[in-house]
Amino acid sequence: MNAPLTHSLEARYYTSPEVYEQEMSGLLSRTWQFAGHVGKIPNAGDYFAFEIAGQNLFAIRGRDDVVRTFYNVCQHRAHELVKDTGNTRVVVCPYHAWTYELTGGLRAGPNIKSVPGFEREKICLTEVRTEDFHGFLFVNLDNDAAPMDEWYPGVREEIREYVPNIDKLAPLEWVEAPEKCNWKVSVENYSECYHCPINHPTFAEGVVKPETYDIQPLERGYVLRHTTECQSLEAMTYPIDLESNEHAGEYRSWFLWPMVSFQCYPGNVLNTYHWRAHGVANCTVWRGWFTEGGVESEVIRDLAVQDRATTVEEDIHLVESVQRGLQSKGYVPGPLVLDPGCGVSSEHSIRALQGWMREAVDG
């Protein structure tokens, strides 16, 4: 007797403003989100501002070398504190010059000593949970959320096994790719390679062997692991040294629900994806490329250019077409292709991913 078919999610999960707002206040406010790399703030007082789930935040390195993240808002009358990136001895609000220590506590403010009962030591910027994941800073707006190692068990150790020098890496290049689609359409597209042999010839013929490609959820946590072998050295679009590491001839990727992925290309080349949602039908994908110390590398630069011109560009057209299709009155969600043998032409990863999507919206 055949098992019942599993159908794809209904269009409303990708097109409904109500679902999107529910995700912003729920899922995306209660999960680990990539903020930036520690390489952006190497010195005490270095900071950068960013946005997560509609909230303006900033990360800053203290004199104790600890990186902290705060909501980017003065506790006096709600003016934003910093913009972009910079370095500062103390954090000064541009509105009334309330001044905060790098640890968030209020240090001073014009005329506050004349206010009876004013207790400066009780005023502090609101801190956001922050974790350093091999130099990649993640934040979670939920103070009660489980730590990353519970969300993504074993991934921290596995990434180090494939990229032994990860703690020495720094960003060489960030590639920005705006997409006119719901963020989940883009994440789904990334999380299967059923479409790769048809739509990504450079990736499928010059980087990986599609016939060895598989994507599976881990037994615990919220992780999709991509595994495959590299193409023959003659077919590879960039040079690799198979003797440099026992995993140099492999491709592996770890997608960390809901919006981040670490990829180890053949040759132990680390690169990343992270997503930002801007509206129900708009998001941005960022591709990060890394070298030791962020030093210049012609190979990595060329690989980033190749990736943007081929796989990334090809995916933009695919996901934007899907978003238009989701608006069609003729769309009836079809069954997922769940091959018992798994492999590149199976959508086991999409079944897991859509389960997490449904759980986030419907409980």
**Contact criterion met (CB below 8 Å) for 135 and 38:** yes
Q: Check pLDDT > 60 for residue 233.
A: yes
Residue 236 structure tokens: 């590879």
pLDDT tens digits along 9-32: 999 999 999 999 999 999 999 999
**Contact criterion met (CB below 8 Å) for 101 and 123:** no
- The amino acid occupying position 158 is E
Domain shared by 122 and 224, yes or no? no
Domains: count for the chain = 2
State the pLDDT confidence band at 209, using cuts at 50, 70 and 90: confident
Q: How much is the average pLDDT of 156-166?
A: 95
Domain shared by 195 and 327, yes or no? yes
Compute CA distances 156 → 72, 133, 161, 224, whole Å.
29, 7, 9, 14
Per DSSP, the residues of 289-313 read EEEETT---HHHHHHHHHHIIIIIH
State the pLDDT confidence band at 248, using cuts at 50, 70 and 90: confident
Q: How much is the average pLDDT of 218-243?
A: 89
Domain shared by 107 and 167, yes or no? no
Percent of the chain's residues with pLDDT above 90: 85
pLDDT tens digits along 283-308: 999 999 999 999 999 999 999 999 99
34 compared with 251, residue with greater pLDDT = 34
CATH code for the domain in which residue 79 is found: 2.102.10.10
pLDDT tens digits along 264-277: 988 899 999 999 99
Residue 289 structure tokens: 């490329």
Domain C-terminal end among 83, 114, 140: 140
Domain shared by 122 and 180, yes or no? no
Mean model confidence pLDDT for the chain: 95
Residue 278 lies in a domain: yes
Domain shared by 183 and 326, yes or no? yes
pLDDT tens digits along 60-116: 999 999 999 999 999 999 999 999 999 999 999 999 999 999 999 999 999 999 999
State the pLDDT confidence band at 1, using cuts at 50, 70 and 90: low
- Domain holding 120, by residue range, is 33-140
Task: Say which residue the tokens 């057209």 belong to.
Answer: 317
Domain shared by 201 and 271, yes or no? yes
Peptide bond into 258 cis (omega under 30): yes
Other C-beta atoms within 10 Å of 71: how many? 18
Q: Check pLDDT > 90 for residue 343.
A: no
Domain shared by 163 and 112, yes or no? no
The predicted structure's pLDDT at residue 204:
84
Domain C-terminal end among 89, 107, 140: 140
The predicted structure's pLDDT at residue 240:
86
Return the closest-CA partner of residue 349 out of 239, 158, 174, 217: 217
- Give the angle subtended at the CA of 252 by the CAs of 246 and 253, to the nearest 5°: 150
111 compared with 240, residue with greater pLDDT = 111
Residue 233 structure tokens: 């050295």
Q: How much is the average pLDDT of 207-223?
A: 91
Q: Check pLDDT > 80 for residue 4.
A: yes
Domain C-terminal end among 89, 115, 140: 140
